């Protein structure tokens, strides 16, 4: 095999597929990037068996062939080469030579035949949306997925399509994040749970703007994202996702509007007093026109008041400050509005159109 | 005590003294910053008993007093407060209140009386130089000090003044770094060994330019740096430093001039093939007009050639690539010149004026 690339084409392709190279694995072949130039064109593939990424690379095929190269090492070498033409050659013993200007690397590759290929997905059921929107709604919800594998469904996000509406939902048992967007046209209904890791990696690869499209194909067990020169295939998480709509409610006793940055900075300061492992809540007292935040820990105490607009009853309610900060950071609005019923019931941060809803469970506190 | 500061004045003073707060200590009082407003003005002090820093802070003294506050916590709080006026109050029970706009923190301070004060240094023997120069020559030599405490002298740097010449020297047993600068006037001779940590912290605090001066005072056991509103006092390392001049030589068999960036990038690429703990040398072969670099390891092999200007004999010599890279990174010149005698003898990188000399010991290799 003999292929010629520009450094920038080569490096961007490596960076894309690198997202599907597992950190730890018992199968060394999965730590490789497969370079396939047996047919027309050149494709790079990586696959951790849950998530597979394949991308087409622009380059000249001088001699057809296929080789698997250790991904980390390959990417480090290419990154450090001069910004010039790079030639990759391999022989029948899987010896790889990488040439760039007067620099010559020899490393040992592996047979491409041993590689675990990406499953073939039937491209039947599909939706389209802009790369920009998909990236946005992933970033605005992904932090609510659970890291913990004890409930597999919580490590994923629900993607639901009804007519021309798409909803992305994440929850971790203490909070829920929901983002709704309108699609350009109506599609068949979809209700799948996509692994959080898949969505997180996709949000890093999607570089396109509002005009650039991503196609998403669904089968019973897989989802396939297609954009630019790249396809990402992921297994779905099996099982029935939580009944979200039953958890939502528009009733409230208190409605509060507050400047988002001031609120966020104030909670951020207060959380300085919380040492790791210490689960002190921030106590929010809402009266007419003023919200008072208080926190007390071994390290000291802090209180601060903010001007707010309030409707309804006064309330004193406690929160895990991190949950509130995460939600506020995911909202672009200058002013946010939140709704509470009582100190035991969920608090909702949402806008009028409900394009976003963040539910946060309050915590008990001793006043 | 009651003091009023602007956030920026307060924060820059904290950032300066923070450099002398020890990471780990069995004396909790050393983890504090001492705020002293008992006399005229306000000073902040931190002291890890080897290194002490004291800085004057601009602020209003409403009520005189003194308090010690946990440094890390204090700095985190101030950093997160709004960019506004900050009031610090303490009472006779060492309760500290920090006020900024509508935010109020209460934390527990400690008695300032328990603080370990900086020793009083006789300001007798002195030299002056520009802050810019001092920072530069520290950064250009400090990487050659040894981390290892097994030879205490190697963890420090020799500062030597003869008439109007200052020389800073670091060595770690495998290499030597020397920087020489000319002072504006002649001073009494100095020959002291300053702890590497002291120099490293000073290089981070010195923000001044070529016009801003730093005064350095010497006693038998201490060195004191005075600049802007700050003094830094450090113990000296005791003992007789290595006889540097006996290690230097201007004899050579081969003289090579090469483009610094090309050489550096080439070694950087080659060192990709060296895994941690693996002590593979880079082999440098010098012939007329061409230098060839080769490296071979478990991971693979690499070779690259560079155009050079050469005088004298051909040579094949091996180096620890890190040592060469460190030295090249510390040199600003576009072209560097190095001198070798034979594959066992030290290699010197130096300029005509010898304002810098980097000595690197070669390593054995199997060709």
Q: pLDDT value at position A83?
A: 95
Please give the ipTM for the structure prediction. 0.87
Query: φ, ψ for residue A357 (rounded to 5)?
Result: -135, 125
DSSP 8-state assignment for residue B363: B
* Residue B274 pLDDT exceeds 90: no
Chain B nearest-CA residue for A290 = B102
Give every CB contact of residue B125 below 8 A, 6+ residues apart in sequence. Answer: B188, B190, B217, B218, B219
The dihedral of CA B184, B190, B191, B195: what is its sign? negative
Q: What is the mean pLDDT of residues B332-342?
A: 97
Percentage of chain A exceeding pLDDT 70: 99
Nearest by CB: A73 against B82, B107, B299: B299
Q: pLDDT value at position A96?
A: 98
Q: How far apart are CA B235 and CA B226, in angstroms?
A: 15
Q: Is A127 exposed, middle or buried (0-12, 13-18, 19+ CB in 10 A)?
A: buried
Give every CB contact of residue B217 below 8 A, 6+ residues apart in sequence. Answer: B121, B122, B123, B124, B125, B126, B223, B224, B226
Closest alpha carbon to B202 in B10, B17, B14: B17
Residues of A in contact with B269 (CB under 8 A): 77, 80-81, 103, 105
Closest alpha carbon to A322 in A157, A174, A210, A222: A174
Q: How far apart are CA A33 and CA A274, in angstroms?
A: 44
Residues of B in contact with A301 (CB under 8 A): 105-106
**Nearest chain B Cα distance for residue A306, angstroms:** 8
Residue A248 CA neighbour count, 13 Å, CB half: 16
Q: How far apart are CA A30 and CA A319, in angstroms?
A: 43
Angular region, A49: left φ>0, alpha ψ -120 to 50, beta rest:
left
Interface of A with B (CB under 8 A): 73, 76-77, 80-82, 102-108, 265-266, 268-269, 272-273, 299-306
**Nearest chain A Cα distance for residue B239, angstroms:** 44
**3-state DSSP of B76-111:** HHHHHCCCCEEEEEECCCCEEEEEECCEEEEEECEC
Read off the tokens for B68: 């010690």
Chain A nearest-CA residue for B304 = A103
Residues of A in contact with B107 (CB under 8 A): 299-300
Q: Which residue has the higher pLDDT, A26 or B78?
A: B78
**Nearest chain A Cα distance for residue B211, angstroms:** 39
Interchain pair B107, A73: CB under 8 A:
no
Q: What is the mean pLDDT of chain B?
A: 95
Nearest by CB: A102 against B108, B273, B304: B304
**Nearest chain A Cα distance for residue B137, angstroms:** 29
Query: φ, ψ for residue A226 (rounded to 5)?
Result: -125, 125
Nearest by CB: B272 against A77, A269, A301: A77
Q: A260-270 and B71-80 are packed helices; what angle lies between their axes, rounded to 10 degrees?
A: 170
Band of pLDDT at residue A144, cut at 50, 70 and 90: very high
Q: pLDDT value at position A312?
A: 97
Q: Which residue, among A71, A78, A102, would best test binding to B if mutated, counting the most B CBs under 10 Å from its CB? A: A102
Residue B284: C-alpha distances to residues A155, B296, B316 (Å): 52, 12, 6
Chain B nearest-CA residue for A296 = B106
DSSP 8-state assignment for residue A225: E
**Nearest chain A Cα distance for residue B80, angstroms:** 6
- 3-class secondary structure, A73: helix
- 3-class secondary structure, A253: coil
**Nearest chain B Cα distance for residue A299, angstroms:** 6
Residue B136's H or E segment, with its range, is helix B131-139
Give B173-193 as a DSSP string: SSEEEEEEEEEEEEEEEEEEE
Interchain pair A299, B73: CB under 8 A:
yes
Neighbour order of strands in the sheet with B213-218: B65-70, B32-37, B42-47, B51-57, B230-235, B222-227, B213-218, B125-130
The dihedral of CA B301, B307, B309, B311: what is its sign? positive
Interchain pair A103, B76: CB under 8 A:
no
Interchain pair A301, B106: CB under 8 A:
yes
**Nearest chain B Cα distance for residue A85, angstroms:** 15
Beta bridge partners of B292: B285, B305
Nearest by CB: A108 against B103, B265, B300: B300
Q: How far apart are CA A196 and CA A303, in angstroms?
A: 37
Nearest by CB: B80 against A106, A269, A306: A269
Band of pLDDT at residue A207, cut at 50, 70 and 90: confident
Query: φ, ψ for residue B132 (rounded to 5)?
Result: -60, -45
Read off the tokens for B243: 């006889």
**How do residues B232-252 score in pLDDT, each as one tens digit?**
999 999 999 999 999 999 999
**How do residues B156-182 score in pLDDT, each as one tens digit?**
999 999 999 999 999 999 999 999 999
* Residue A135 pLDDT exceeds 90: yes
Residues of A in contact with B103 (CB under 8 A): 266, 269, 302-304
Chain A nearest-CA residue for B305 = A102
**3-state DSSP of A106-119:** EEECECHHHCCCCC
Read off the tokens for B14: 């904290």
Q: What is the mean pLDDT of residues A303-332?
A: 96
* Residue A277 pLDDT exceeds 80: no
Band of pLDDT at residue A367, cut at 50, 70 and 90: low
Q: How many CB atoms lie within 10 A of CB A138?
A: 23
**Nearest chain B Cα distance for residue A78, angstroms:** 9
Residues of A in contact with B273 (CB under 8 A): 105
Q: What is the mean pLDDT of chain A?
A: 95
Interchain pair B73, A272: CB under 8 A:
yes
Residues of B in contact with A305 (CB under 8 A): 102
Residue A41: C-alpha distances to residues A52, A66, A245, A324 (Å): 19, 12, 47, 49
**E strands, A109-155, where?**
125-130
Residue A188: C-alpha distances to residues A34, A127, A128, A240, A278 (Å): 35, 8, 12, 19, 47
**Residue burial A279-294, b: 16+ Cβ < 10 Å; e: rest:** ebbbbbbbeeeebbbb
Band of pLDDT at residue A26, cut at 50, 70 and 90: confident
**Residue burial A185-208, b: 16+ Cβ < 10 Å; e: rest:** eebeebebbbbbbbbbbbbebbeb
Angular region, B312: left φ>0, alpha ψ -120 to 50, beta rest:
left
Read off the tokens for A225: 């994202």
Closest alpha carbon to B46 in B256, B191, B205: B205
Q: How far apart are CA A134 and CA A177, in angstroms?
A: 15
**Nearest chain B Cα distance for residue A142, angstroms:** 26
**How do residues B89-145 score in pLDDT, each as one tens digit?**
999 999 999 999 999 999 999 999 989 889 999 999 999 999 999 999 999 999 999
Residues of A in contact with B300 (CB under 8 A): 105-108
CB B16 within 8 A of CB B55: yes
Q: Which residue, among B76, B98, B103, B262, would best test binding to A if mutated, counting the most A CBs under 10 Å from its CB? A: B103
Residue B345 CA neighbour count, 13 Å, CB half: 15
CB B98 within 8 A of CB B87: yes
Band of pLDDT at residue B275, cut at 50, 70 and 90: confident
Residue A99: C-alpha distances to residues A62, B111, B300, B303 (Å): 14, 67, 14, 10
Q: pLDDT value at position A148?
A: 82
- 3-class secondary structure, B316: strand
**3-state DSSP of A302-356:** EEEEEECEEEECCEEEEECHHHHHHHHHCCCCCEEEEEECCCCCCEEEECCCCCE
Give every CB contact of residue A233 below 8 A, 6+ residues apart in sequence. Answer: A51, A52, A53, A54, A118, A119, A121, A222, A223, A224, A225
List % helix, strand, coil for chain B (3-state, nearest 5): 25, 45, 30
Q: pLDDT value at position B367?
A: 67
Chain A nearest-CA residue for B265 = A80
Nearest by CB: B302 against A104, A266, A300: A104
């Amino acid at each position: 095999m003999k292929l010629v690339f520009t450094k920038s084409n080569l490096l961007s392709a490596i960076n894309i597929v690198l997202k599907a190279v597992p950190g730890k694995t018992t199968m060394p072949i999965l730590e490789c990037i497969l370079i396939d130039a047996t047919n027309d064109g050149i494709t790079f593939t990586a696959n951790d068996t849950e998530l597979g990424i394949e991308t087409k690379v622009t380059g000249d095929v001088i001699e057809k062939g296929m080789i698997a190269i250790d991904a980390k090492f390959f990417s480090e070498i290419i990154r450090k080469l001069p910004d010039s033409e790079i030639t990759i050659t391999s022989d029948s013993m899987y010896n790889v030579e990488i040439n760039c200007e007067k620099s010559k690397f020899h490393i040992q590759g592996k047979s491409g035949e041993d590689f675990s290929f990406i499953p073939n997905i039937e491209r039947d059921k599909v939706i389209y949306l802009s790369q920009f929107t998909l990236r946005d709604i992933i970033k605005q919800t992904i932090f609510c997925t659970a890291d913990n594998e004890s409930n597999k469904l919580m490590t994923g996000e629900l993607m639901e399509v009804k007519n021309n509406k798409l909803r992305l939902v994440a929850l971790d048992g203490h909070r829920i994040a929901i983002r709704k967007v309108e699609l350009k046209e109506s599609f068949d209904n979809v209700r799948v749970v996509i692994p959080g890791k898949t969505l997180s990696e996709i949000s890093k690869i999607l570089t396109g703007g509002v005009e650039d499209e991503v196609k998403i194909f669904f089968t019973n067990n897989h989802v396939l994202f297609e954009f630019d020169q790249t396809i990402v295939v992921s297994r779905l998480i099996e099982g029935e996702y939580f009944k979200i709509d039953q958890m939502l409610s528009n009733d409230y006793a208190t409605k509060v509007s507050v400047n988002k940055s001031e609120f966020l900075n104030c909670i951020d300061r207060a959380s300085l007093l919380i040492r790791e492992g210490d689960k002190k809540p921030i106590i929010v007292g809402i009266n007419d026109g003023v919200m008072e935040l208080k926190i007390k820990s071994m390290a000291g105490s802090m209180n601060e008041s903010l001007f707010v607009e309030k409707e309804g009853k006064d309330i004193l309610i406690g929160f895990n400050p991190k949950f509130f900060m995460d939600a506020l950071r995911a909202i672009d609005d200058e002013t946010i509005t939140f709704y509470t019923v009582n100190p035991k019931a969920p608090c909702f941060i949402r806008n009028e159109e409900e394009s976003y809803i963040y539910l946060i469970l309050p915590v008990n506190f001793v006043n």
